[in-house]
Amino acid sequence: MASLKEVRVRIQSVTSTQQITKAMKMVAAAKLRRAQENIIQMRPYAKKLSTILQNLSASLEGADFSNEYAVAREVNTVLIIAITSDRGLCGGFNSNVFKGVNTLIQEKYPEQAKRNQVTVLPIGRKAFDFFRKRELKNISEYSNIFSTPAYDEVKKVAEFAMEGFTNQSYDRVELVYNEFKNVATQIIRKEQLLPIIDSEPVVTEKIAHTIDFIFEPSKAEIVKDLIPESLKIKFYKAFLESAASEQGARMTAMDKATDNAGELLKELKLTYNRTRQAAITKEILEIVGGAEALAGK
């Protein structure tokens, strides 16, 4: 049985840890509110932009218009963008992304992986630390961008991927990240960023049947400008989803850690009381034994 001093030290240690986890939970809750507001505001904009682009693209079917971002080639080289956090203590948030990347490679690109033609672009220090120890090629240039979530900084990664696809450095670009559902639930997403695929049915606005729009300079020019912007917005949306998911995962993890610390404190205090009671009982027995010994003389 541990001594009273050892139990007291453990109680003090667990109490300090519980105070830290409580503080981290409160900080994560404050950051989650801001991150949640950002993603809620972004989702309608991204959806509307995608709808406009799909309707315009549908109206150009059969016309002499080529989209360089939708060219499907034989897949020889692959770029996988993995979005994680810079810090840990957020449950399975980061490990789920690692598992998602490994599953994606095993299911879709095993041959490319054998030929060492799969490149990972890690975003977040945790992804950088994980993938630099693996046999996969990785690009560390943008690994620290998670600390600066401004659109102007985030879009540089999308521009890098788009340029790599158009100059045929990569035949396919995949995106792996956590999608925010609620505080307790984050869904791992594996999306093909390039070449562009129609993931949603084309929805033609009813107003388009009654109003004859004038497009300036032309539909083709508008679509040509919208496609790169739409890809950047799609990537930025994934970034915001991941940011909100991180805070939700950290808040949940710290809440569970605080509860676990409370349960451990109960057990330690019970152990302390039992140890203290045993020590007192032992001292009483020693006193009684000594008194009886003196009385016998």
Three-state SS string across the chain, please? CCCHHHHHHHHHHHHHHHHHHHHHHHHHHHHHHHHHHHHHHHHHHHHHHHHHHHHHHHHCCCCCCCCHHHCCCCCCCEEEEEECCCCCCCCCHHHHHHHHHHHHHHHHCHHHHHCCCEEEEEECHHHHHHHCCCCCEECCCCCCHHHCCCHHHHHHHHHHHHHHHHCCCCCEEEEEEEEEEECCEEEEEEEEEECCCCCCCCCCCCHHHHCCCCCCCCHHHHHHHHHHHHHHHHHHHHHHHHHHHHHHHHHHHHHHHHHHHHHHHHHHHHHHHHHHHHHHHHHHHHHHHHHHHHHHC
User: Given 28, 83, 90, 196, which residue is catalytic?
Assistant: 90
Beta-ladder partners of 83: 123
First-last CA distance in the chain:
36
| Phi, psi for 173 (deg, rounded to 5) | -125, 125
| 42 flagged as catalytic | no
Catalytic residues, by residue number, are 90
